[in-house]
Structure 1
Amino acid sequence: MLRFLNVIWMLFISHSVIAQFGPLKNLSIEEESKLMVYNSKCVHRDKYSPSQRQLLYPFNQTVFISLISFQDTVSEFSSHLPIKKGILDTGMVKEEIRLSKADINKLTDLLFNYGYRSKKYGVIEDRMSCYDPHNAILFFNNQRKVISYIEICFDCLRMKFSSEKIKVGENCTEKFSILKNFFTSKGIKFVSIDHRPYGLIMRAYNETLALRVAERLMHIQDVEEKEMFSGLVFMVNGKMCLGVSKNSMMVRLDPNTLENLSDKDGWQQMVMGGRPMKGYISVSEDVLGRNDELDFWVNLALAFNPFAKASKKK
């Protein structure tokens, strides 16, 4: 059940599902989601040889490569890569490890030779709406100027590149975990927001909205809050009911009520692989500022909850 809920939640917070449907088999949403979870796992294939990987940009242009961790010394809330006009600001760098040829070979192998099991019926990219990077792969010339970089947020499962020419293969489920392990194996310890100064941890979801939703569920006995990726899900009677992300709220409701919502603003039906997900909608926080609006959507979800089907437990 949890895997199915994870798929729904990731659709809600990131809308990052890539679907390629097979023409012969008619799958249910739950069957499709299970296949997508399986397909998205990493598998190693010898797609590129070591010599071929060295010809890929920017590995073919660099003199040496370093892994770094960094922390913005000005802002407590987010970090940015400390590079200006190719010059690395060492005052913001916490750790730097220069890679050997063997290290580079291993790095290119994990970047380019780990990919999806299959793309049939779709895959899921684990990308969150947050972005607070603390690590990077830097590519230097012989004057120690940074000619290119890959900026990494391990907590949010996202990367940014200095050039559109940089490609890092397929973003299979364990890709960031494998890359994170590579960083730590080389001696980089600062790879998580848990290392923020003063023990500060920022929530990726809208905590104010989450508290307002929680207040409206206080009278219900069987309520469980689950943090999933960059959001908070409210389980009512063991079934997904509501969820809060950074800028919207997921509502699970009676699919037959959608035709009665034409006069309501700020909502859209969730979609998986090009197909509408029956009974799941996303409501923008822009229309939830008024208590009566929030009450309306919460009550719709609660009214349907007794009739909603729970996913089958393994």
Structure 2
Amino acid sequence: MNKEMFTEPGRLSHAVIDWSHGRVLGFAVPADESVRHERVELCLDGVALTSAVAQRSMFDFNEAWGGLPIPPREGCAFSLRIPQASLLPSQLEADAVLLGVRDSQGRWLLEQRLRGPHEVLALTEGAPLDLLYSVAFDRVREGVLRGHVHDRHRLGHVPALQTRLNNGTPVPLPFAGAMDDAGNFSFELSLPLEALVDGENRLHVQGPEGQPLASYPIRLGPASDSLAEHRLQVLEAEVEFLKQLLLTRPDDTAPARLDLFKTEVIGLCSEMLSLQRVQLEREFQARLAAHPTSDAANRNVP
């Protein structure tokens, strides 16, 4: 690859990886002035997987354009993602895969090595996000839901996730800052109280293409009897979500998906046992309170 094309003034092409949105961004202008638009290809290990005509406006990408230079003319930008259907099992099992973008003349705009399946999946269209991230909800205080998104592979890039209340319109999930030492991105989400309905509500966290990642139940009406009841409702929602993931994910990620499912089920079982222990302790304390005299007599028996 000719690295000089990235530094010379008046360059006709350029491409970078936009990790936050899981795509390759760039621009390309045909060397032949009689050609209106350039066509670019995305390759893995030299094999072309998809292509696009570089005819979009740089303003379509807003702040994501960031560090990219200004194109020599308008309407020559492009965006590329790895098609999920084109991925091979060997590409998800390899320690490293070479990603490249080239123009119609075979000139490389970008060559970069992806380190493992997590970086490949991060750039894949419709990728199962549960293999990349997990979501933990804390509690709602003063109308604000707090929680964090855990980066399973420590990619360090702010994920482009969305939230959707019930069947409403998705909006970006607002993160509070960069990833912490534990690999978590914290978020604080103000709940649109006017959009909540009486009874059960669902706040969904999803990917930019609607891939489900997590769900949080919100109930309007009579308050829950206890914190344990609320925890049980959250666990039930997580069980339904895991069932949905298991039934809807593509076959090419089955082994990793099954391992993740086993881990989540073990965690849920542990949480449910904890709830059961709390309930048994409450029942035991209630029985002691109902029979204090007999309990005292039993303690005095030699």
TM-score for the superposition, normalised by structure 1:
0.24
Higher strand share: 2
Higher helix share: 2
**Relative contact order higher in (CA < 8 Å, ≥ 6 apart):** 1
Q: Which has the larger radius of gyration?
A: 2
When the two structures are superposed, what TM-score results if normalisation uses the length of structure 2?
A: 0.24
